[in-house]
Structure 1
Amino acid sequence: MLDVPVIDRRPVQRSSGSPVSGRPETGAPPDAEVLRSLFSSTVPGTVGFEEELLLVHRGTWLPAAEAAALIADIGDPRVKPELLAGQIEIATSVHKTVAGAVDELRSCRELLAAGCGSDLAVIAAPVHPLVDGLNALSPTGRAARLRARYGEVIGRQLVSSLQVHLAFGDADCTLSVYHALRDLLPELAALAGAAPFAGGRDTGLCSVRPVIASELPRQGVPPIINSWEEFATDLAWGASVMGSSEWWWELRPHLRYGTLELRVLDVQATTGLTSAIARFVYALAARLAELHRLGTLQSPAPTWRIAENRWAALRDGVRGELLDLRTGESRPTRRCLHDLIDAAEPFAPGGLDDVRAVVDKPPVDHLRTLGPKGVVPWLAEVFTA
């Protein structure tokens, strides 16, 4: 959930091979010139993942607050602690293709599964289906600081997402794609929704994860950023109470790497599902970058309209309807997604039939057939499938 690097311990790959001068590592808010330099100096088309996972006890299938010990035993810098003591994060390196990033993700999942022994298991669950309450925090200074700032709300944030980092190598293009993806956050939330249960009950939502996350500030639909000057001003305004890592919106410009970080996606049960959704996101971003170059992207939609669609997406997933952000026309979410997939497919070598299958047979339906008590053992079984 929080700001742990996606790209090993280096900056995002840059055409010059070196960090941007003045990049914001010291905590001081960057100015607009630094932001433009940072977001213009990445290698376009590179991609990386962060994947948040849960550690559970076999038998009871409840969270196990032992992630730190498991991570220490594995000793791999790509496997990292998270805010909660029962949560683990995988952070991949930079890749030129989604397939390469998925392969690395899969190998890290295998490392975790092998390290668990017979008593523990790791699962990819956006929300633990049997838990609804406070959880132990990791024994870190950062967790203690956030606990002091946000109170017990932090202990309820046992939520896991798949975060995709996208590089464009051009500051203006990055900001244009930011706004275009911002309009499409509800469609992506509907596609990836995989958290119907909390506290042992069906919430009636296809994903309750964003509802839990919204107990914290700066969640959901991000603000319009009219310019890098405006973004620099906003970062400076909030610098006294938060860092840029606490811009927890579902999409954000990432100040350490010069990427767009898409944070709207629920973590997926298998790397096969991750691959299907991430390949679509990557192709969609490439199409939007092309539309930016052609000068045909629309201006950003009002936040409240996107938020209205977002709620419908969280409730109904792909089986609902979304409103056109300009005309208000209601359309089936499935139709919206299929149209986006058709438009993105020219940018996806090998096609996007795998993500069409996700739209037509959403994984949340299978989770509901298992019920809240059956989900966790199934997730443990398919974790490395």
Structure 2
Amino acid sequence: MGVEEEYFLVDPLSREVVPRADEVVRGAAQDVGDLVSRELGRYQVETRTPPCGSFGELHAELRRLRGAVAAAARSAGARIAAVGTVPLGAPIPMPVSDGRRCAEQLRDYRRLVEEHVICAAHVHVSVPDQERAVLVSNHLRPWLPHLIALSANSPFFCGHDTGYASWRRMMWQRWPVSGPPPFFASLGAYESLLAVLTGSGTLPDRRTVFWDVRPSSRYPTIEVRAADVPVTAEESALLAVLVRALTVTALWAVERGDPGPEVCAELLRAACWRAARDGLRGAVMDPRTGLLAPAGDLVPSLLGHLGPALEETGDRATAVALLRRLAATGTGADRQRAVHARRGSLTDVVDALVALDPAVGLV
């Protein structure tokens, strides 16, 4: 498994984002090489871990990468913030990075690109082949609301409380191919749809498939893209072990000949919306039935589904402990709002985010 994380670059005085990605990437690359890169906007940088086999290994890599980027940002007169949207400022239109791909996206998607001021975490888990990756996607679809709720970390945007735990989610799903993926009966069905989407000009290439789950176009993995970037490296590593356990559970079902549940697309979209709005505070919607349950049931239901896989990967004790802590302390969105309630200013929220050590939570 591996994780890609995106971070904002923030001016420590104004607390607004600053377009210093080129400087930060050059500085961090001296320590971590090509594991750090630019993102679509000049306010952002991205890191990607090498493949890791355990929670501890992945957590250490995430801390190392965050530390390298944070040090490079300080040298460039900035700070990094692991948060899904920008709490302060009005950074639109976003200055777009140089390069052919960014220019093509700006040409095709226009204002969508200039308003793409969001940061996410993408989890990769290795799978044997593309056919099974597509079928695994079917099995992961019903669990996307759980992942969205657990990772919610973007309640504020440009000086306002959005009323959502994950406003990044609302901004993300405006793209033409985004949100929960369709159910696919086979790899052939997946390839046929992609051929139509690329042939019509809706997608310039396969890398612009922005579904929450997709077979990676670059690696032999299934890629899950539903989460806000978590506040801490520890929470990113937890997200990854949960996604790996979901993938292992799905692979077992695929080996039994189970292609996955054909969950209604509209119910799944509604469940993801509710998870983005409420996070772990409120009710969660089961996309298979449309029924509501207390958010407190989310962690037990997830652990019940993943228990055997977490035992198989050796992650059960760690996952149980961290999920219980998350349920008690709240998501990144809850903790940001708590800072705002105590101190009364979004500048304090930004200060709390940029002051974090990779090993310490926002409390």
Asked if TM exceeds 0.5, the reply is yes
Give the TM-score category using the shorter length: 0.7 to 0.9
CA distance in 1: counterparts of 2:227 and 2:298, whole angstroms: 17
Summarize the Cα distance change of 1:229–1:288 in structure 2 as closer, same or farther, 3 Å threshold. Answer: closer
What is the Cα deviation at residue 216 of structure 1? 2.1
Q: CA contact under 8 A between 2:66 and 2:358: conserved in structure 1?
A: yes
The yes-or-no answer on 1:69 pairing with 2:37 is no
Match of 2:276 among 290, 293, 314: 314
Q: How does 1:298-313 map to 2 (within 5 A)?
A: 298-313=260-275
Q: What's 1:104 paired with?
A: 61
Q: CA contact under 8 A between 1:65 and 1:85: conserved in structure 2?
A: yes
Structure 2 residue matching 1:116: 3-state secondary structure: helix
Q: What's 1:203 paired with?
A: 162
CA distance in 2: counterparts of 1:238 and 1:58, whole angstroms: 43
Match of 2:80 among 114, 117, 122: 122
The yes-or-no answer on 1:369 pairing with 2:327 is no
Q: CA contact under 8 A between 1:122 and 1:383: conserved in structure 2?
A: no
Summarize the Cα distance change of 1:110–1:327 in structure 2 as closer, same or farther, 3 Å threshold. Answer: closer
CA distance in 2: counterparts of 1:131 and 1:303, whole angstroms: 35
Structure 1 residue matching 2:118: 3-state secondary structure: coil
Q: What's 1:83 paired with?
A: 40
For residues 161-198 of structure 1, give each alpha carbon's deviation from its aligned partner in whole angstroms, at most 9, with x where no partner exists.
11001112144432232111111111110111111101
What is the Cα deviation at residue 61 of structure 1? 1.3
Q: How does 1:273-288 map to 2 (within 5 A)?
A: 273-288=235-250
Match of 2:218 among 256, 265, 276: 256
CA distance in 2: counterparts of 1:141 and 1:176, whole angstroms: 33
Q: How does 1:184-199 map to 2 (within 5 A)?
A: 184-199=143-158
Alignment-mate amino acid for residue 105 of structure 1:
L
For residues 91-118 of structure 1, give each alpha carbon's deviation from its aligned partner in whole angstroms, at most 9, with x where no partner exists.
1112223432222121111111222236
CA distance in 1: counterparts of 2:273 and 2:133, whole angstroms: 26
The yes-or-no answer on 1:244 pairing with 2:206 is yes
Summarize the Cα distance change of 1:325–1:113 in structure 2 as closer, same or farther, 3 Å threshold. Answer: closer
Summarize the Cα distance change of 1:225–1:131 in structure 2 as closer, same or farther, 3 Å threshold. Answer: farther
Farther-moved stretch of structure 1 (310-319 vs 125-134): 125-134
Q: What's 2:70 paired with?
A: 113
Q: CA contact under 8 A between 2:94 and 2:117: conserved in structure 1?
A: yes
CA distance in 2: counterparts of 1:383 and 1:86, whole angstroms: 20
- The Cα RMSD (Å) is 1.9
Q: CA contact under 8 A between 1:283 and 1:347: conserved in structure 2?
A: yes
Q: What's 2:183 paired with?
A: 224
Q: What's 1:56 paired with?
A: 10
For residues 204-250 of structure 1, give each alpha carbon's deviation from its aligned partner in whole angstroms, at most 9, with x where no partner exists.
10110011122321121112222111112122222242211111111
Structure 1 unpaired stretches of 5+: 1-46
Match of 1:145 among 104, 110, 114: 104
Alignment-mate amino acid for residue 374 of structure 1:
D
Q: CA contact under 8 A between 2:146 and 2:302: conserved in structure 1?
A: no
CA distance in 2: counterparts of 1:268 and 1:326, whole angstroms: 27
Summarize the Cα distance change of 1:331–1:55 in structure 2 as closer, same or farther, 3 Å threshold. Answer: same
Farther-moved stretch of structure 1 (343-352 vs 200-209): 343-352
What is the Cα deviation at residue 160 of structure 1? 0.7
Farther-moved stretch of structure 1 (195-204 vs 321-330): 321-330
For residues 43-64 of structure 1, give each alpha carbon's deviation from its aligned partner in whole angstroms, at most 9, with x where no partner exists.
xxxx111101111111111111
CA distance in 1: counterparts of 2:297 and 2:245, whole angstroms: 18
Q: What TM-score do you get using the length of structure 1 for normalisation?
A: 0.83
Number of residues of Structure 1 aligned to a counterpart in Structure 2: 339
What is the Cα deviation at residue 295 of structure 1? 4.4
Alignment-mate amino acid for residue 358 of structure 1:
L
The yes-or-no answer on 1:162 pairing with 2:141 is no
For residues 242-280 of structure 1, give each alpha carbon's deviation from its aligned partner in whole angstroms, at most 9, with x where no partner exists.
211111111111122131110001101111221222222
Structure 2 residue matching 1:122: 3-state secondary structure: strand
Farther-moved stretch of structure 1 (274-283 vs 179-188): 274-283
Structure 2 residue matching 1:49: 3-state secondary structure: strand
CA distance in 2: counterparts of 1:215 and 1:170, whole angstroms: 30
What is the Cα deviation at residue 293 of structure 1? 2.8
Summarize the Cα distance change of 1:365–1:73 in structure 2 as closer, same or farther, 3 Å threshold. Answer: closer
CA distance in 2: counterparts of 1:183 and 1:326, whole angstroms: 7
What is the Cα deviation at residue 301 of structure 1? 0.5
Match of 1:380 among 334, 354, 359: 354
Q: What's 1:32 paired with?
A: none
CA distance in 1: counterparts of 2:61 and 2:289, whole angstroms: 42
Alignment-mate amino acid for residue 102 of structure 2:
A
